[in-house]
Amino acid sequence: MLLSKNKSIVTVVDVQARLLPGVHEHDQLVDNCKWLVRLAHLMDVPVIGSEQYPDGLGHTEDALRDLVGEANLHGKTLFSCIDDSGFEAAFNAHDRQQVVLCGMESHACVVQSVLSMLDKGLEVFVVADAISARNPLDTEIALRRVERAGAQLVTREMVGFEWLRGSDAAEFRTFSKEFLR
């Protein structure tokens, strides 16, 4: 099953600045999430994000927040973003079946979001180099679990190449210059 830019939506789960210092390789996580969101913009793929209890835990990291757009970020209290009615309504408004998911924490909000999305019949692609948790073991086990449940594990570059499909795509030159460094 290949990704299609016309069927995809990028979902950024809970990359909140206040929580980042405790997350394994958090600078790389933020950079990889930003890379993915910039790629989505290049390919005209919608982006939506969640924030876990933002009144208490704060908001998405500033640069990532700017890229996603404040209007596209939705606060929640449930760990699974898609189980939050406000997020789900905003998500469903895009009418996309393929979810390209990144964020944190792998073993909590990411895994529960993925499993709930699979239960709703969505095709879920977890970007393995754009998720993290405080403990790397939690990420490893979360990846194994979601893969067994039916999610596809991908990398950022895999997403880009699948959305492009070939070097004759209009966006390929920009992709190769700006994203493959």
The string of pLDDT tens digits covering residues 3-32 is 999 999 999 999 999 999 999 999 999 999
Q: Strand locations in the chain, DSSP E?
A: 8-13, 47-52, 73-76, 98-104, 123-132, 152-154
Residue 181 — very low, low, confident or very high, per pLDDT cuts 50/70/90? confident
Instruction: Name the packing angle between helices 136-149 and 111-119 (round to 10°).
Output: 10
E strands, 79-119, are 98-104
- Report the pLDDT value the prediction gives residue 52, as an integer from 0 to 100: 98
Give the whole-angstrom CA distance, residue 58 versus residue 21.
13
How confident is residue 168, by pLDDT bands cut at 50, 70 and 90? very high
* pLDDT reported for residue 10: 98
Q: What mean pLDDT comes out for the span 82-94?
A: 98
**Dihedral class, residue 165 (left if φ above 0, else alpha if ψ from -120 to 50, else beta):** left
In 3D, which of 112, 122, 127, 117 has the Cα closest to residue 163?
127
- Which residue bears the tokens 């406000």? 86
Let me know the angle formed at the C-alpha of 26 by 19 and 111, rounded to the nearest 5 degrees. Answer: 70
pLDDT band at 145 (very low <50, low <70, confident <90, very high): very high
Distance CA(86)–CA(72), nearest Å, equals 11
The confidence band for 121, taking pLDDT boundaries of 50, 70 and 90, is: very high
Report pLDDT for 51: 98
Task: Identify the pLDDT of residue 64.
Answer: 98
How far is Cα 36 from Cα 30, in angstroms, rounded to an integer?
A: 10
How much is the pLDDT for 132? 98
